[in-house]
Amino acid sequence: MKAALLFFLLVHPYQGNLKEDQKSAVHEVLNVLSESSLLGLATKKKYITKVTRPLEGVHPLDFLKEVAQKQNLLENVLSIHKSSSKWKIFIAGLSKSFEEAYMHEDFLDTVKQFCHAVSIDSLRPLQYAEQKDWDSFVKSVVFQIKKR
């Protein structure tokens, strides 16, 4: 039983796109994170849990590709980055997915595909992925996307 449950909790392979409900969830969670105070986030915990359900099992690079494709989402992530506490929350959520993806696929090859798809240089993201430094990985991707 436990093994069957773990199968369904695994991150899906990188696909390069999200379903509409998943896109909506990315938009909503980034809006809430960027616009709410830390106290406000604490009071919205149930709401955030509900909103993020469609994102369970989503590959973290699919999530970041959605950010790369929408300027308002990129602005939300940059706003989240300005608050170290919010950034830690954001990275903690993504890190679990990155660790899982790293263990269950040729992740470095997937990073190369992702970087090509979003038109950024893969050198730094690959270095950070090899080190499993997900904070620096995400920052590298986001700031390269911003410069495009």
pLDDT (0 to 100) of residue 93:
86
Please report which confidence band the pLDDT of residue 116 belongs to, taking 50, 70 and 90 as the band edges: very high
Residue 27: other Cβ atoms inside 10 A:
17
Comparing C-alpha atoms, which of 119, 136, 115 is closest to residue 127? 136
CB-based contacts of 83-89 (< 8 A; 24+ apart in sequence): 83/38, 85/38, 86/33, 86/34, 86/38, 86/41, 87/135, 89/33, 89/41
Query: For 29-38, what is each residue's pLDDT tens digit?
Result: 999 999 999 9
Query: For 5-50, what is each residue's pLDDT tens digit?
Result: 333 345 788 988 899 999 999 999 999 999 999 999 989 989 988 9
Most confident of 5-9, 48-52, 98-102, 127-131: 127-131
Q: Around 28, how many Cα atoms within 13 Å sit in the side-chain half-sphere?
A: 16
What does the alpha-carbon distance between residue 43 and residue 66 come to, in Å, rounded to a whole number?
27
What does the alpha-carbon distance between residue 13 and residue 101 come to, in Å, rounded to a whole number?
8
Domain ranges of the chain: 20-147
Residue 67 has pLDDT above 50, yes or no: yes
Question: Are the C-beta atoms of residues 113 and 14 closer than 8 Å to each other?
Answer: yes
What does the alpha-carbon distance between residue 141 and residue 120 come to, in Å, rounded to a whole number?
8
pLDDT (0 to 100) of residue 45:
87
Of 11-15, 92-96, 107-111, 126-130, minimum mean pLDDT range: 11-15
Of 66-75, 87-96, 132-141, minimum mean pLDDT range: 87-96
Please report which confidence band the pLDDT of residue 3 belongs to, taking 50, 70 and 90 as the band edges: very low
Of 11-20, 77-86, 129-138, minimum mean pLDDT range: 11-20
